[in-house]
Chain A
């Protein structure tokens, strides 16, 4: 079933259509939310909130754009609004940066054992998380949609309601800033 038929089904209170819609898009929405929050539980909560909003506001979807574009837009806006609201998340970011230093220092001193792989995995995860979270919202959004969702720039432009050239610039600057952050962390500890 295509998106149009599923939407008609959901608006007619057909639960099966809604289930199919959720199953079709849940992986993409979850991945986007995970990219913003780097936490499975938070990502699942927000994914659920997105679909609840979709269920309640589906009658507002006018079909000017693709359904996926509308869905991504809701997801991105919800993630950003939640990050802005949660001041404690900003504190956690600072804590995470300190935790990065702790983990990096720990890794340097641990002898070459098998379990170092797990610590290195955690280290990579936290370094990447910290670096992406340090980006300004627009750069972060463009980067996540480009790298995690593999969306073309014209679709990202539609989601962010901006021009393709603006998206290109945002992605470029995001990569430079990300690189800078990772290099700084590397120079500090190695």
Chain B
């Protein structure tokens, strides 16, 4: 086996999951090849660090912090519910009232005139005679 082929199987050699033939062939190669031996050592050192990491423990205050976080989340949810159930309907009600009030005020600016006033306005425009000053003068003279 050449070095490249050995490199592909080193991790499985370390785990002991290779066939007996392959494991023996690699052992023989490692006895003669210093580079591959160093590489095996490097792989072994790094992969065995997993066992060190497995032993890392969480903080003893994890549960306390968890409960504090949970209570904070529940309080926040309560506030959101309060907003949704009480404040939001009040806000919508106020907006509707303000809109209605504004509408009424705006409508008041363009108030409809009474029928009598309309008739008077029409009569004014139909009364051509009073518009013509010269004709009035002539009529009066006659």
Contacts and interface: CB of A to CB of B under 8 A. Distances in A.
A110 B29 CA distance: 32
Nearest to A143: B50
Contacts of A124: 45-46, 49
Given A48-B69, A52-B70, A186-B39, A128 B63 contact: no
A100 B128 CA distance: 102
Contact of A48 (B8, B38, B46, B65): B65
B118 interface: no
Given A51-B66, A55-B70, A148 B50 contact: yes
A175 B12 contact: yes
Find the residue from A55, A125, A179 having the highest chain B CB count within 10 A: A179
B115 interface: no
A51 B104 CA distance: 56
Given A34-B53, A52-B70, A179-B10, A44 B42 contact: no
What interface size band does chain A fall in? Answer: 20 to 34
A131 B47 CA distance: 10
Interface stretch (B19-27, B54-62, B130-138): B54-62
Contacts of B49: 121, 124-125, 128
A182 B43 CA distance: 7
B18 interface: no
Interface of A: 19, 22-23, 26-27, 30-31, 34-35, 38, 40, 43-44, 47-48, 51-52, 55, 121, 124-125, 127-128, 131, 147-148, 175-176, 178-179, 182-183, 186, 190
Given A31-B54, A125-B53, A178-B11, 13 more contacts: A26-B62, A27-B58, A34-B53, A47-B62, A48-B65, A51-B66, A52-B69, A131-B46, A176-B8, A179-B7, A179-B8, A179-B43, A182-B46
Interface of B: 7-8, 10-12, 38-39, 42-43, 45-47, 49-50, 53-54, 56-59, 62-63, 65-66, 69-70, 73
27 contacts: A19-B63, A26-B63, A27-B57, A30-B62, A31-B54, A34-B53, A44-B59, A44-B65, A52-B66, A52-B69, A121-B49, A124-B45, A124-B46, A125-B53, A128-B46, A128-B50, A128-B53, A148-B53, A175-B12, A178-B11, A179-B7, A179-B8, A179-B10, A179-B43, A182-B47, A183-B43, A190-B38
